[in-house]
Structure 1
Amino acid sequence: MAKGSGGSPAPPRGQVYLPEWRRLYDRLLKMLREEHALAEELAIERAHLAAELELQRIGRRGREEIFQARIQQIWREEELRKRVEKAEREVLIGGKDLESRCYQKLVEITDSDAEEFRSAIAALTAENSELKAKLKEVESQAQLNENSADHQQSGKGLRLEIRKLKQAYKTLSSEKDKQISALNAEKDFVWNQLKTMERDYMVTIKIKNIEAKQATDAAQKLLKNVDELQVAAQKKDDEIDRLQAEVTSAKEKMLLLEDELKQMHSLVKGKDVEISKNKDHQSESSRKSKKDINKTNRKSKSEDPVSKEKLRTSQVTPDRIEVKTSRTRTSETSQKRKRGSSLSCVRFPAMLH
């Protein structure tokens, strides 16, 4: 009965027979599941990569803001320090200039006083010389009139006056000498102060020059650090651009994989429809063959064995032809599915690579 219906031989006991289209369908379904799992893994990896890029971008922005704030603070402190140093230098130079001018004025006053004292000394010297001349004249007159009794008393008065004049001259001369020595000492003190101020001023200028050089070196180091920070930020930007390019390429690959999955789903749906049509056609042909066999069996009961054998052979032949036709269609369908699965297998690894 199984041979007459044209079916395949029964599978061994304990094994389940699966048709070729079912095995091909299972392989295709397994492939689709693997591709879907791969697509999900790629989507998760893309999400992780996007989150990591966002975190790196936020961290880089925070570091850049901190660096910019530090740089601005350093520039403000440097500007304030320069202003303070400039103000201190101006105040110091102004104070030194004022003090120098005061000392110069004092020197000028001292010089004028010394000149006045010199003129006074010259006047006193002239007066002293006049007094000496008068004294000599008086002494000569006293010697001339010494023998005279009338002028004896006037000579004594003149000698007394001369002694007083000599005493006054000595006193005045000693006072003038003291004043001149005091003025000379004051002048020497002023000159010493001026020399000391000049030395202090030169030392201060040297210190300020050293500080200015140090400030310049610090500013150059700061600019170098700023350049290094800018280079580091540029490297971070390049790294972020590279990661963004990788994310873009990953997105493109995901889109291509999704398109391939859609094509595979549409192909599977088409194959399912074709397989269902083939199954319906096979079931219909098997029903027709069973009906024809039943009819021939009923007719063969009333006929002779020869005609019965002829009728059986004549009716079995179309059934076998139909079974062969269905087997040919099934083999063509399985070959088409194999070609589609092989093409998809070749295409998917190429896309993955």
Structure 2
Amino acid sequence: MVSKVAWILCIYISGYCQSSRAIAREPAGRVLLFVTTHLTPLHLRFLEKCWPSATRASPFIQSADVLVFVTGELDDAKRRVLDIAFPPWTNRSIIHTTLPNAGYNRGAMDALAQADAHGWFWNYDWVVRLNADVIIRDDRFLSAIVARHDVDAVFVDCYAGQRPDKVHVQTDFIMFRPNKVARGSFRIPKKWSPVYCGEQREYWTLQKDMSVCEPEHVASHALESIIRSKRWALLPGVRILVPHCRVRGETSPVVHDHAYVDQCASNAGSPHDVASAVAADVLQCNEWRMMHKAMPGTALDALPAGLRKNWTARNCDGLMHAPENPGKNGRKRRRRRY
């Protein structure tokens, strides 16, 4: 079989793609790994040291098409780094696309906005959007989600479970079914401008309109239909340090920790016994959730007395998961004694 590797450098001029080729349409069932980077020295270190070993250890990454969205200059040396980070595997596409650096907060919105405008996600079943310094170190959870019919997204919740039935989507890592999101949902808000929102993170201190200026608010609004449907899962094992929101946690299958760049090569592909235990807890918490209609933030006194201690011990608020697949022919699962 001939390897289908497409190298596309798409330069944006006045907001329009000037490439002579469009991203190829893919058959159903495909996953797109959408990696965004401004190729800072730190991002380059992650691309050189972490992504090669992460790819070798992960059938999930190997089978996905890869679109690297670069803001800033992409010279030959940096292109070689990307070649090493994301080598071609059988029957997948590796694509680079560039856009001038629009700054910290606008840059976080631009990647999804451009993908939305140009239809890059249209023919994929799943899109995994992450930064170059966000590493998939254990792909088992993501692979299991892709195989399910009742989950449309995987989120990291910046609310850390503090607001029942609400998710404040963290933009460093998002996994979703693009056919569940209306076209145009990721467009940049009309009110956005450097004058209105401030530079870098000034919108925090200037108390600007978060629904316009903050990437997490914009992404949460774009994915609102999935959030309201409750057909989503939270990435297990994530530890949110409020008010900061990053994908961290000793057992998280995905990690965004700048110190990890010095550990990633030795950790990639190693057994994650603790992560396996977390996965088991996720399934158990989910079963309790379905039986008792419990959500993150559920008052403990609303749960059966025998369940309260176990709910807390397993950190079910932090591990809330999308509904478990029903049994054969729709039969309910047998209830457990507590």
Q: Fold conserved (TM > 0.5)?
A: no
Please classify the TM superposition score into its range, dividing by the shorter chain length.
under 0.3
Query: Higher Cα Rg: structure 1 or 2?
Result: 1
Q: Higher helix fraction: Structure 1 or Structure 2?
A: 1
TM-score (norm 2): 0.18
* Greater strand proportion: 2
Normalised by the size of structure 1, how large is the TM-score? 0.17
